[in-house]
Amino acid sequence: MLRKDHLWALPKTLILLGMPMFSSRKAEALIQLDRWDEALPIINQVRNRAAASTQRPLDAGATDIYNIGTYASFPSKEYAWQALMFERRLEFAMEGHRWYDLVRWGIAEETLNAYLAEEKTKRDFLANASFTAGRDEYYPIPQREIDFTGGLYVQNPGY
């Protein structure tokens, strides 16, 4: 049982997952199975929850907030896929899940290199930065670990 007064004792590596995480992963699976019509209400449920949260800024006096509506339909698998990727980007911003999404979807290289191309114009220390698919998703295995296992471990590609 997880009690609010005991949260201080949790390890830093514990990741708490909420319903939007599980429901969006279910929607992702449905889209990949060509059942994007079944993913529509799941994605809209997440959007409806987000739309309900916009009342608080209005109550505080904000006049410029996002108008969050629902999707009427997904005309194609590609449209559903784009909607899902956009929703996960918004819903889990700053929570550390984006990296895993990009790698799982196979778009880490193009997304991160596009980001780096822009950031290189602003930050000198990124002048030689680039992301290489097939290598940069993993850390190298320390040589001493490979030696210790007698070759049972094999170095990750690119190192």
Please give the backbone phi and psi of residue 10, each rounded to the nearest 5 degrees, phi first. -75, 145
Rounded to two decimals, the pTM is 0.74
Residue 11: predicted pLDDT: 57
Q: Token pair 């997880």 is at which residue?
A: 2
* Residue 103 Cα to chain centre, angstroms: 9
Residue 6: predicted pLDDT: 47
Question: Domain spans of the chain?
Answer: 18-93, 106-159
Residue 2: predicted pLDDT: 47
Q: What is the mean pLDDT of each run of 10 residues along the chain (159 residues)?
A: 50 64 93 96 90 71 74 96 94 88 94 96 95 91 94 89
81-100 b/e (C-beta count within 10 Å ≥ 16 → b) = bebbbebbeebbeeeebeee
Residue 38: predicted pLDDT: 97
Residue 56: predicted pLDDT: 65
Residue 159: predicted pLDDT: 85
Closest CA to 86 of 107, 61, 60, 65: 107
The encoded tokens of residue 88 equal: 């996960």
